[in-house]
Amino acid sequence: MSNHTNRLQMIEQRLKDALAPEWLEIIDESHLHIGHVGARDGRGHFRVRITSSLFHGLSRMARHRMVYRALGPLMQSDIHAINIEAFSRNEI
C-alpha cells in the first residue's frame, strides 16, 4: 500500500470513528500545491466534505474544530492544509 493510500485511509478512519458521518468525501489536492512551501515537507493538501448529525446546531467554527480534533496528530505529520465543508443532515 502506498503512503498516499495509507494517508487517505487514516484520515477516513479517524473521521468515521469520531464523527459517524452519513456522507464523507476526501479529495487529495496535493498536486495543486506542488512547489508550495508547505508541501515541500511531504504533507498533503486535502478537501473534506462531510455530513454528520453531530454537527446539528453547531457553528461552522465548531464543526471545523471537531474535524481538526478527530484528525489529531495527522495535522502535524500528514496534513499541511485542509479545506473543510461540514454540514448537518438537515442542511443538505
pLDDT > 70 in the chain, percent: 83
3-state secondary structure of 89: helix
- For 46-64, what is each residue's pLDDT tens digit? 999 999 999 999 999 999 9
- For 13-37, what is each residue's pLDDT tens digit? 999 999 999 999 999 988 665 666 6
Q: What is the CATH number of the domain that holds 28?
A: 3.30.300.90
**Count of structural domains, the chain:** 1
> What pLDDT score does 15 carry?
98
> What pLDDT score does 80 carry?
86
Nearest to 5 by CA among 29, 38, 28, 32: 28
58 lies in which domain range? 3-91
The C-alpha cell 496534513 sits at 79
Asked if residues 43 and 10 have their Cβ atoms less than 8 Å apart, the reply is: no
pTM score of the predicted model? 0.86
CA-based R_g, the chain, Å = 13
